[in-house]
Amino acid sequence: MRAEVIRPFKIRGELMPIGTMLDIRDEDYPRLYLKVVPIEPATADVMEAEYLTLLARYWTIDSDPTATMDEVRQLVQRLDALYRELARQGKTMLVRI
């Protein structure tokens, strides 16, 4: 999947600046959700896996002292966008945030 960097981070010791385009594997996207945005649409299976990963993070975020309100807002926005897209594709998710 093609993705654009929105927050600088390192890959194998090399800093990826904002605006860099990357080819990332679909299964790696949930770990990078706060650092990149997808350019190409993901498949329903990838979106569902991302939704479940982010939902697990949402339920544990209160116990994380390093979590910021900005991260919580981004997390909820991404969960809502995924829920809407999955619902549009006919997938039924158990929880909507």
pLDDT tens digits for range 43-76: 788 888 889 888 988 999 889 888 889 889 989 9
Confidence of residue 91 (pLDDT cuts 50, 70, 90): confident
Other residues' Cβ atoms within 10 Å of the Cβ of residue 51: 22
Beta 9-11 vs 14-16: how paired, if at all? antiparallel
Q: Which helix (H) or strand (E) holds 3?
A: strand 2-5
Query: What does DSSP assign to residue 41?
Result: P
State if pTM tops 0.75: no
pLDDT given for residue 33 in this prediction: 79
**Is the confidence at residue 13, as pLDDT, over 80?**
yes
**Is the confidence at residue 77, as pLDDT, over 80?**
yes
